[in-house]
Structure 1
Amino acid sequence: MTLTADDVRAIALSLPDTAEKLAWGQPAFRVAGKIFAALGDDDATVGVKCPVEERAGLIASEPEKFFVREGHDDNYAWLRVRLAALDDVAELTAVLTDSWRQAAPRRLVSAHPELNPPPADG
């Protein structure tokens, strides 16, 4: 199953207090006015929030899934994801929810504990 821009839209808009609005001519998804996801030019990728210090590890571990546009994303806490490389809707949901948590106000994240990741084992 190949994931599509429609899957991104459905998942992003299912998250609390989200809205879709164009940014730079592309569909972007916002929480409390902050962008947490944006579809790429070809609708085959989605940009999501990702701490800069975590990007290199993600890209190195799964370069077929994750990338940055050199020169464009270098100074921003963003990562791009190839939709066709994701395993399934659950993985896309996890990626978008993680990005939503990074952009959402703490009070909103606290109000939705069901969107927090499960505790790590160990």
Structure 2
Amino acid sequence: MITVEQVRRLALTLPRTSEHLIRDRVKFRVGAIVYVGFSQDETVMGFAFPKEERAALVESEPGTFHLPRESDMRFNWVHAWTAALGEDEMRELVVEAWRMVVPKKVAAARLGTAP
């Protein structure tokens, strides 16, 4: 099980990230783009994820991942039950979500990869 505090400790180390409380929901974003957000009760973590890959992710682990509501399907977004996520998996999901919303050279500098 992961917590908002664990995600916060990671997310705030990622360049250009800021934390916001929007409608009693914790969200992490770069500029105006949210890349990780939590439900009000913090049982669900939503995160940026490629649209073309999300069905496969949900099908691979339906007890962990689920699709967002229909109105949010237009976004690159998936949900996960916080109780079903381990810290290593959370770290990978958060970093990859962040990577989707920052310029390639910013991600490369932080992750030590070629842009």
TM-score (normalised: structure 2) = 0.87
Q: Which residue of 2 aligns with 1:96?
A: 94
> What letter corresponds to residue 52 of structure 1 in structure 2?
K
Q: Note the alpha carbon deviations across 1:33-85, whole angstroms, 9 max, x for none.
A: 42111111210111101111111000000011111233232211100111111
Mapped partners of 1:66, 1:72: distance in 2: 18
* Contact 1:28–1:39 under 8 Å retained in 2: yes
* Contact 2:3–2:82 under 8 Å retained in 1: yes
Mapped partners of 1:113, 1:30: distance in 2: 18
Matched residue count: 113
Alignment of 1:42-81 (within 5 A): 42-81=41-80
Mapped partners of 1:69, 1:110: distance in 2: 29
Q: Percent identity?
A: 31
Structure 1 unaligned regions, length at least 5: 117-122
Alignment of 1:1-122 (within 5 A): 2-86=1-85, 88-114=86-112
Mapped partners of 2:84, 2:107: distance in 1: 28
Structure 2 unaligned regions, length at least 5: none
Q: Which runs of 4+ in 1 moved over 6 A?
A: none
- Aligned CA RMSD, in angstroms, stands at 1.6
Mapped partners of 2:61, 2:72: distance in 1: 18
Mapped partners of 1:80, 1:57: distance in 2: 13
3-state SS of 1:28 partner: strand
> What letter corresponds to residue 17 of structure 2 in structure 1?
T
* Contact 1:32–1:104 under 8 Å retained in 2: no
3-state SS of 1:111 partner: helix
TM-score (normalised: structure 1) = 0.82
